[in-house]
Chains A and B, each alone.
Chain A
Amino acid sequence: MCLAVPMKISEITEGTAICEVDGVRREASLMMLDNAEVGDYVLIHAGFALEKIDPEEAEKTLAIFREVLDAGGGVEL
Chain B
Amino acid sequence: MKYSSEYRDPELAKALVSAIARDVEGFDGQMTLMEVCGTHTMSIYQHGIRSLLPNQVRLISGPGCPVCVTPIGYVDQAVAYARRPDTIVATFGDMIRVPGSTSNLLREKAQGADVRIVYSPLDALTLAEKNPDKQVVFLGVGFETTAPTIGGSLLEAEKRKLTNYYVLCAHKTMPAPMAALTSDPELKVDGYICPAHVSTVIGSNAYQPLVEKYGIPCVVTGFEPVDMLRGIQLLVRQVVAGEARVECEYSRIVKPAGNRTAQAILSQVFEPCDAEWRGIGLIPDSGLELRAEFQKYNALRVLPVEVEEPKEHQGCLCGEILKGKFTPKQCPLFRKACTPEHPIGACMVSSEGTCAAEYKYGC
Contact = CB atoms under 8 A, between A and B. Distances in A.
B352 interface: yes
A62 interface: yes
Nearest 10 pairs of A and B residues by beta carbon: A47-B120, A73-B18, A58-B252, A73-B19, A73-B15, A2-B145, A2-B197, A57-B251, A6-B3, A57-B252
Contacts of A53: 3, 252-253
A29 B19 contact: no
A68 B152 contact: no
Given A1-B94, A29-B122, A69 B253 contact: no
B17 interface: yes
B328 interface: no
A15 B137 CA distance: 25
* Chain A interface bracket (under 10, 10 to 19, 20 to 34, 35 or more): 35 or more
Nearest to A47: B120
Nearest to A68: B15
B65 interface: yes
Interface string A1-38: 11110101000000000000110000001011110000
Contact of B1 (A1, A6, A58, A60): A6
Contact of B146 (A45, A55, A69): A45
Contact of A2 (B1, B2, B18, B146): B146
A32 B261 contact: yes
Q: For the side of the interface on B, what is the size category?
A: 35 or more
A31 to B, nearest CB: 5
B152 A29 contact: yes
Given A1-B352, A31-B155, A72-B15, A54 B251 contact: yes
Interface stretch (B4-12, B46-54, B310-318): B4-12
B152 A45 contact: no
Which among A31, A34, A66 has the highest number of chain B CB atoms within 10 Å?
A31
7 contacts: A1-B65, A47-B149, A48-B122, A53-B253, A55-B252, A57-B251, A73-B18
B39 interface: yes
Contacts of B65: 1
B226 interface: yes
B152 A60 contact: no
B45 interface: no
B77 interface: no
B195 A47 contact: no
Contacts of A75: 19
Contacts of A21: 1
B66 interface: yes
Given A2-B37, A58-B3, A65-B9, 18 more contacts: A1-B92, A1-B350, A2-B143, A4-B145, A21-B1, A29-B122, A32-B261, A32-B262, A33-B261, A46-B92, A46-B146, A47-B122, A50-B197, A51-B200, A53-B253, A57-B251, A61-B230, A74-B18
B265 interface: yes
Contacts of A29: 120, 122, 152
Contact of B119 (A4, A47, A66): A47
A71 B16 CA distance: 10
Contacts of A31: 152, 155-156, 261, 265
Nearest to B148: A32
Interface string B147-158: 011001001100
